Amino acid sequence: MKNLKALVDEPKPAAAPPPPAVTRNGEPKRERTDRIGQRLIAAHVDAETFKSFKILCAEEGATTQAMVSEAMELLFRKYHKPINEKLAAQARQRD
Say whether pLDDT at 95 is over 60.
no
In the beta sheet, which residues pair with residue 22?
Answer: 28
Say whether pLDDT at 52 is over 60.
yes
Q: Identify whether the C-beta of residue 88 lies closer than 8 Å to the C-beta of residue 73.
A: yes
Say whether pLDDT at 5 is over 70.
no
- In degrees and rounded to multiples of 5, residue 39 shows phi and psi of -120, 150
Domain that holds residue 85: 4-91
Q: How far is CA 49 from the centre of its chain?
A: 21
Q: How far is CA 95 from the centre of its chain?
A: 19
Structural domain count of the chain? 1
E-only strand ranges, 3-92: none
d(CA 76, CA 73): 5
